[in-house]
Structure 1
């Protein structure tokens, strides 16, 4: 019995155009959720959480990179 080579067990990577599109969509969706949370807090608490503004700008990039690295 021959052991299966590691190449056969590896996940098949989707096409680059699909991966790029999905990565951009994940980043934009995360940004929209963050902006929505800031607007919600502003309306409900009548105060903008200033500490969260840099996080809302940085977290979508981190999420998109993490999503992209799932396929590498």
Structure 2
């Protein structure tokens, strides 16, 4: 049985609830800012840990360099 014209959806089946993605320049800028902010937080934590604990957590240096990339890629994939 076919639905009446009053009950027909106005959008196509595949487009229901989808938003238009932001422009590429905005997405690139936001992704870079998220990566830089995460890197700054990691470096700040390393410096704070060095000053407060009087030792450098050498195991964390590779993490501080890798986590911003992972966070930026995850942020970027929200719109892909």
TM-score range, shorter chain: over 0.9
What SS does the aligned partner of 1:37 have?
Answer: helix
Name the Cα RMSD after superposition: 1.0
Please, what TM-score do these two structures have when normalized by structure 2?
0.85
Deviates more, 1:2-11 or 1:15-24: 2-11
Correspondence 1:25 to 2:5:
no
Q: For residue 8 of structure 2, what is the aligned residue in structure 1?
A: 2
Q: Distance in 1 between matches of 2:26 and 2:18?
A: 19
Give the gaps of 5 or more residues in structure 1. none
Correspondence 1:49 to 2:44:
no
**Higher relative contact order, structure no. (Cα contacts within 8 Å, ≥ 6 residues apart):** 1
Q: Distance in 2 between matches of 1:55 and 1:39?
A: 14
Deviation of 1:47 after TM superposition, in Å, equals 0.2
The number of residue pairs the alignment matches comes to 72
